[in-house]
Structure 1
Amino acid sequence: MLSIGDFAGLGRVSVRMLRHYDAIGLLRPAHVDSHSGYRFYTAEQLLRLNRILALKDLGFSLQQVQVLIEEKLDPGELRGMLRLRRAELATQVERDSARLALVDARLRMIETEGHMNTGDIVLKQVPAVRVAELSATALGYDHPTSITENLSPLYPRLMELMEQAGIAMTGSPIAYYRPAPTGPEDETITVHAAFPIGDAEVGEAGFDVVTLPPIEAATAVHEGAMAEAFRTGGRIAAWIEDNGFRPVPPGYAREVYLHCPPGCFDEWLTEMQVPLDNTGTATGEN
């Protein structure tokens, strides 16, 4: 028999927690001394304690844990539930890391307020480009995490569809954004992932083909992760204002991914193109 203190130490829980488990009938001690009231446990009860803790870590309430324990989940079922929870936590860590990077970038931008260098902005005539594209909806232009989550998966899917159709890309990948076709108070946007395809003939291939119009744009090359793209966007906005131009509302940039080694976001080179006030709209072929 193990005292409650020894059992708590082996199970890596508090004595107070074991008393609570006893009170609600989740984990009763193997023996309670009738004179002193001291609780004692067996080593075998560590197995039940470990299952309780595993189910708690999956997010179940103690009442739900009790039901699941009584149903006697087999080890395979419990392993499957833990693996699912692990995948959920890994996704959450990835999202939190992206948010942390964005916060750091915002802090750096605040620290450089009043010292914005706009010397690397270029006024450029961008010719029309015919592209294959897929699209999705994101929460808004000011939600970079949502943009990344919805835009990024489109590129490998588009590449797969183009390979199946025998269509080759003829230039760097492009992203552009439009307000979603919903109510006026809805800030959601449509994100477009595109590959230039020149004059290739395209049948029914599972993707759209559009011609992005020629634009006059204020452009700059953004170096690093797109989580910090707003810093380059801020430089372009300052240049536009200083030089008496006006962006095409709502001022979304077109992005051309010049160099994007997988996983090496600090090495990315992206040309950001903010259309000025003499642009048109994309025309669709299907």
Structure 2
Amino acid sequence: MFSIGDFAALGRVSVRMLRHYDAIGLVRPARVDPVSGYRYYAAGQLPVLNRVLALKDLGFSLQQVQAMLDEKVEAGELRGMLRLRRAQLAAEIDASAARLARVDARLRMIETEGHMDTGDVILKSIPPLRVAELSAPASSYDGADITEALTPLYPQLQQRLAALGITPVAPPLAYYLPDPHGPSDESITVHAAFPIGGAVPADAGFDVVELPPIPYAATLVHHGPMAEAFRTGQLIATWIDANDYRTVAPGYAREVYLDCPPDQRKWVTEMQVAVNPAGA
């Protein structure tokens, strides 16, 4: 038998919490001294305490926990519930980390307002390009919406190209078009593409598209994760305005992924925005 203090230490909970669990009938002491009123617990009660704490971490109220304990939830079922909750928490952490990165990037952008160097923007002509591509709808041109829709397309496309023995002839790229059939006026279609050459069977499992040439493209190389690509996009926008050009509708940048190591902080991406001289 263990005193309430020792049992609390073994279970990594507070004595106050154990007293509360006793008061509501959730985890009763194994024995209470009739004279002193001291509570004593047995090692065999630790699994019950573990279940209580696990179910609490899953978001259940103490009343719900009591009901589930009365129903004697099996260990396997509880493990499954915990794994699901763990996956949910991990996704929430990833989403929060991505939001924090975007906030940091916006803050850095604000701090450099008025001091942006657009000297590295290059105006060039982009030749026509034949690509294999997969596409998907996205809710908007927001970075998180694009990432969710675009990211799964590249491994699918790579697998289908490899199955046909087709090797891309240039780095992968992405481009975006409005989706007039989407649920809102912000809906777009994302296109994940690899430049290719040679013949492709009709049932390849992907589309083959001839991208037209871009006579004038304001281009700039972006270094870092695509979550921060808006910074490079704003530099291009500043250059376009300062040099008396106008964007060509729909105005979305084409992204050419020059180098994509596992660490996104080391990504190198050329952003290309179609423009025309003012008055053209």
> What is the aligned length?
276
Q: What CA distance in whole angstroms lies between the structure 2 residues aligned with 1:176 and 1:20? A: 59
Residue 203 of structure 2 aligns with an amino acid whose one-letter code is E
Name 1:281's counterpart in structure 2: none
CA separation of 1:168 and 1:138: change in aligned 2, threshold 3 A: same
Q: What CA distance in whole angstroms lies between the structure 1 residues aligned with 2:242 and 2:183? A: 30
Shift of 1:193: 0.7
Q: What CA distance in whole angstroms lies between the structure 1 residues aligned with 2:63 and 2:146? A: 39
Shift of 1:137: 2.5
Residue 163 of structure 1 aligns with an amino acid whose one-letter code is A
1:102–1:228 CA contact under 8 A, matched in 2: yes
Question: Aligned to 1:21, what secondary structure does the other structure show?
Answer: helix
Residue 9 of structure 1 aligns with an amino acid whose one-letter code is A
Shift of 1:185: 4.4
5+ residue gaps, structure 2, are none
Name 1:174's counterpart in structure 2: 173
Name 2:109's counterpart in structure 1: 109
Select between 107-116 and 30-39 the one with higher mean Cα deviation: 30-39
Q: What CA distance in whole angstroms lies between the structure 1 residues aligned with 2:60 and 2:180? A: 40
Structure 1 residue 147 corresponds to structure 2 residue 146: yes
Residue 156 of structure 1 aligns with an amino acid whose one-letter code is P
Name 1:57's counterpart in structure 2: 57
Residue 188 of structure 2 aligns with an amino acid whose one-letter code is I
Residue 98 of structure 1 aligns with an amino acid whose one-letter code is A
Shift of 1:151: 1.0
Question: Aligned to 2:246, what secondary structure does the other structure show?
Answer: coil
Name 2:15's counterpart in structure 1: 15
Select between 93-102 and 49-58 the one with higher mean Cα deviation: 93-102
Shift of 1:34: 4.9
Name 1:118's counterpart in structure 2: 118
Give the structure-2-normalised TM-score.
0.89
1:129–1:198 CA contact under 8 A, matched in 2: no
Name 1:266's counterpart in structure 2: 265
* Structure 1 vs Structure 2 CA RMSD: 2.3
Q: What CA distance in whole angstroms lies between the structure 1 residues aligned with 2:187 and 2:23? A: 50
Q: What CA distance in whole angstroms lies between the structure 2 residues aligned with 1:21 and 1:138? A: 48
Question: Aligned to 2:238, what secondary structure does the other structure show?
Answer: helix
Name 2:196's counterpart in structure 1: 197
Q: Any residues of structure 2 matched to 1:117-136 within 5 Å, and which?
A: 117-136=117-136
Shift of 1:132: 1.2
Shift of 1:27: 1.6
Give the structure-1-normalised TM-score.
0.87
Q: What CA distance in whole angstroms lies between the structure 1 residues aligned with 2:256 and 2:221? A: 9
2:8–2:14 CA contact under 8 A, matched in 1: yes
1:217–1:273 CA contact under 8 A, matched in 2: yes
Shift of 1:228: 1.2
Shift of 1:54: 1.6
Question: Aligned to 2:247, what secondary structure does the other structure show?
Answer: coil
Shift of 1:257: 0.6
